[in-house]
């Protein structure tokens, strides 16, 4: 049986990047400066390929005189976004039962120039058994630029929980492509 380790934050790349989540289960990628986390992008902000920095408009105060005080913070976000393009998707089209402990998901609706770094978080209902997910492989499909990721779960995804209720698992996927 796999050991489940819970964490509120996942540190990546020597603690230069941290992945956190909010109360709605949205995954947030943050840049780290000491103890200060600056959101780069989150699953609730992404609806398609981030091809511009228009999402920053939501974070900039409308008072022009206050822009100087947030300029350095916004420059950090601009630098981080210029290094990576982000993609996210949610899927509840997951197999359950026998053989469901490893599943391959195609990253649809996006063509990548190079192999992306893929992260995934399995989210379940409040009464669903807690399982972890790990990306075991990332590969290009037969269509150039379209990638797929294989996720290994700590156990097979059950169709029903201990109380007999139907389980409700969703896989939240984020992919970052270095420019």
* β-sheet bridge partners, residue 134: 152
**Dist. CA 60–CA 53, nearest whole Å:** 12
**Dist. CA 28–CA 9, nearest whole Å:** 10
**Dist. CA 172–CA 170, nearest whole Å:** 6
Assign 131 to helix, strand or coil: coil
Torsional sign, CA 94, 100, 102, 106:
negative
Residues recorded for the chain: 179
**Dist. CA 48–CA 12, nearest whole Å:** 24
Assign 71 to helix, strand or coil: helix
pLDDT in tens, 151-175: 999 999 999 988 889 999 999 999 9
pLDDT in tens, 37-88: 888 887 766 544 444 444 444 544 444 444 444 445 555 555 554 455 788 9
pTM of the full predicted structure?
0.56
């Amino acid at each position: 049986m796999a050991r489940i380790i819970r964490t509120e934050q996942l540190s990546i790349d020597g603690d230069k990047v941290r992945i956190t989540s909010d109360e709605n289960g949205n995954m947030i990628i943050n840049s780290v400066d000491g103890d200060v986390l600056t959101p780069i992008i989150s699953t609730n902000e992404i609806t398609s390929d981030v091809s511009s920095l228009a999402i920053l408009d939501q974070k900039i105060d409308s008072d022009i005189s206050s822009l100087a005080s947030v300029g350095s913070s916004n420059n950090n976000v601009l630098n981080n976004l210029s290094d990576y393009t982000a993609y996210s998707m949610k899927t509840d089209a997951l197999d359950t039962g026998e053989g469901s402990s490893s599943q391959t998901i195609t990253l649809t609706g996006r063509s990548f120039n190079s192999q992306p770094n893929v992260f995934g978080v399995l989210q379940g209902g409040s009464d669903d058994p807690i399982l972890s997910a790990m990306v075991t492989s990332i590969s290009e499909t037969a269509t150039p630029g379209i990638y797929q990721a294989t996720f290994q779960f700590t156990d097979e995804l059950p169709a029903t929980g201990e109380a007999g209720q139907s389980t409700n698992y969703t896989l939240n996927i984020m992919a970052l492509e270095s420019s």
